[in-house]
Amino acid sequence: MNFKQVQTSFMSHIRDPQHHPDELGLEDRRLKIYRELFFNNIKGFLSSAFPVLESILGEQHWEKLSRDFFANHDCRSPYFLEISKEFVEFLSNSYELQDDDYPFMFELAHYEWIELELSTRKQTLTQTTWEQSSDYSSFKLSEMAELLSYEYPVHQISEEYLPDTPAQEPFYFIVSRDANFEVSFTQINAVTAHLVQQIGARDALDLVTLQTIMCQALSHLPKEQIENATTDIVESLLKQQILVIDA
């Protein structure tokens, strides 16, 4: 057995000792230290990132899910900070819901993860925040803002509230980070979500163009009402630094 084979055999056992017994003849007392050290590190990162999900699943269920992730998901990133992202991808792409799982599990995990993602996201462009004296000639969605939608009320889920069916209408949120590195969640309605989606689909927009877009989308309402509402929403989003000035 060459060195690479030794490494593969060792790590297979550490990740999933139940299905990969030790083939190297190592002392189990020593192997146990490695098994517990690696798994507990991973589990600790998951517990920090997904406290609500852990609390509603309970100790045994959380342990089982964490071990499933540790044993079966091949992480693409070597950074500990990316473990929570890998866990969300694991739930989304390869994990099959079990009979004792909650149907909203992936959505809740994503909702919990996005705060960490925004708080550590690297900003690639200089963003100009809006001031009261600024006009609305050109604005765009901040690099530090994400429009989200969920079928379940993820913001309300707790040990006391565990919905088993999706809501009739989706829940929309904007999660954003401001210049002071404060991350906030803003629940919005479908109209505001459509407005933000239109802005995010373009490099930049001016107020008049956006008003035209919204009037077309809401043609059953009076034009003046839509224009005024669009102005109010844009100003509110600029104040929150969800939108920024296109300098």
Q: Please, how many CA atoms are within 13 Å of residue 73, restricted to the half-sphere of its CB?
A: 26
User: Alpha-carbon distance 189 to 70, whole Å?
Assistant: 38
Fold equal for 3-101 and 139-245: no
Q: What is the pLDDT of residues 28-70, one digit of tens each?
A: 677 777 778 888 889 999 999 999 999 999 999 999 999 999 9
Please state, in angstroms and as integers, the Cα–Cα distance from residue 201 to each residue in 76, 81, 87, 208, following that order: 29, 29, 28, 16
Are the C-beta atoms of residues 139 and 234 closer than 8 Å to each other?
A: yes
The tokens describing 61, both together, are 């269920």
User: Alpha-carbon distance 145 to 173, whole Å?
Assistant: 10
Neighbours of 91 (CB within 10 A): 24
- Residue ranges covered by each domain of the chain: 3-101, 139-245
Instruction: Report which secondary-structure segment, H or E, holds 186.
Output: strand 183-188
The tokens describing 177, both together, are 């980070």
pLDDT tens, residue order, the chain (247 aa) = 665 665 666 666 567 667 666 555 566 677 777 778 888 889 999 999 999 999 999 999 999 999 999 988 888 876 778 999 999 999 999 999 998 999 999 999 999 999 999 999 988 777 888 876 567 788 999 999 999 999 999 999 999 999 999 999 999 999 999 999 999 999 999 999 999 999 999 999 999 999 999 999 999 999 999 999 999 999 999 999 999 998 6
Strand order in the sheet with 183-188: 145-150, 171-177, 183-188
Burial of 194 from C-beta contacts in 10 A (0-12 / 13-18 / 19+): middle
Q: For the domain bounded by 3-101, which CATH number is listed? A: 1.10.150
User: Alpha-carbon distance 224 to 221, whole Å?
Assistant: 9
Short-list 49, 190, 176, CA closest to 110: 49
Please state, in angstroms and as integers, the Cα–Cα distance from residue 7 to each residue in 26, 112, 186, following that order: 13, 34, 47
The residues with which 147 forms a beta bridge, in sequence order, are: 174
Which pLDDT does position 81 carry in this prediction?
A: 81
Q: What is the topology classification, in CATH, of domain 139-245?
A: Outer Surface Protein A; domain 3 (3.90.930)
Which pLDDT does position 126 carry in this prediction?
A: 76
